Amino acid sequence: MARVTGLGGIFFKGKNPDELSAWYREHLGIPMDDNHVSIFRWREHDDPEHEATTVWSIFPHDTTYFGPGDAPFMINYRVADLDAVLEQLRAEGVRIDEKREDSEYGRFAWIFDPDGNRIELWQPPEGQ
């Protein structure tokens, strides 16, 4: 069965991403780049030689990246084989956004849970 292998990212909206990034940097020590992104690096439990990442990012409050609706957050899950996961979810009747994105950062697709929350699925590029 093809399923989620880990947490790829946590994205949420902020009214003022600059101020919010500064707050998280100052009070929680989360290093933020100019795009309000922080990358947490970790090792896989079953393969400690393999380094992986989880992205934590603040988006502008008016972003449409989280899909329709007014959800203040979106969670990104890592998968090993995006096509296999989507095929399986489709067979199970899960609502799937037909949009796909392939980039230097990997392959992306989106699904919706029963409450209409948009969920991002991410297949990292080979070797990442």
pLDDT in tens, 95-104: 999 999 999 9
Query: Residue 10 and residue 74: Cα distance in Å, rounded?
Result: 6
Alpha carbons 123 and 10: distance in angstroms, whole number: 15
Per-residue pLDDT tens over the stretch 19-54: 999 999 999 999 999 999 999 998 887 888 888 889
pTM, 2 dp: 0.86
Percent of the chain whose pLDDT exceeds 70: 98
Full 3-state SS string of 71-85 = CCEEEEEEECCHHHH
pLDDT in the model for residue 68: 81
Domains in the chain, CATH or no CATH each: 4-123 (3.10.180.10)
